[in-house]
Amino acid sequence: MTTPVRDLFTKGEWCQPQDVFAPHRHRRGQLLFAENGLVRVETDQGAWVMPPQCTLWIPPGVEHSVLISDRVHLINLYVEPQAAAIMPTQCEVFAATELLVSLFKESIVLSAQAQQTERDRLLHQLLMLEIQQLQSMPFSLPLPAHPALRARCEAYAQRPQAGVRLNNWCDQVGLSRRSLTRLFRQQTGLSLIDWCNRALVLAAMERLMSGTRVSVVAYELGYDSPSAFSSAFRKQLKRPPSHFLRPQP
């Protein structure tokens, strides 16, 4: 007798600092979760950063690489394509609820069992319902398709600095102010200034979670003062930088 295919399958694995999973793809959709550390996912569409207590969705068939910042227990929830039809068609980061975290952990146990019971099926239904209620988080950095603009964005994301001037970007990519403004929003869903501010916040988050002090992060990213940095950070994420700061040992 053939065993029915489960809509959901979950497994946990320990990852080490600086682990890198080279570009690959899955037949099923994938939802990632880790209670500590930072996980970064990159595709040809951009980058997504998953801090602790968030979950990151990767649709079926999307080629992606994964970078691990710390020793983490990474939970992978795989969703069959037919069940994933209700999920977003691009990668997205969500805030994880306490219920979702509990369901993730229970799902690991259920997935290890040979037979699927009615309780298992109902728990998986609840898990999918909970996922649909999650709040999306602004932890993505989409890339434009325009070649020169994309190259400039990739360079900026590597070394972001506060105080971006639109005219400088226009000169560097060979576009008028009007064309750049229109094209950038059309291809990323963000204005150039909003995109740069998000790049700064994500870079700051990675530094803070590595243990770098708030004042050091502020000056590294080109802010005039720690207070100016904290104000910009809070405006983006509604939380102070200290929320993401790893305590010193």
Q: Do domains 8-136 and 145-243 have the same CATH topology?
A: no
Furthest-apart CA atoms within the chain: distance in Å: 68
Rounded to two decimals, the pTM is 0.89
**In the chain, where the domains are located:** 8-136, 145-243
CATH number of 8-136: 2.60.120.810
In the chain, which residues have pLDDT < 50? 1-4
pLDDT the model gives residue 1: 34
Percent of the chain with pLDDT over 70: 96
pLDDT tens digits for range 178-237:
999 999 999 999 999 999 999 999 999 999 998 999 999 999 999 999 999 999 999 999
Q: For residue 95, what are its two tokens? A: 């805030």
CATH number of 145-243: 1.10.10.60
Stated as kind and residue range, the H or E segment containing 224 is: none
pLDDT the model gives residue 248: 55
- Cα 147-48-86 angle, rounded to 5 deg: 105
b/e map 24-39, b = 16+ CB within 10 Å: eebebbbbbbbeebbb
User: CA-to-CA distance for 157 and 112, rounded, in angstroms?
Assistant: 40
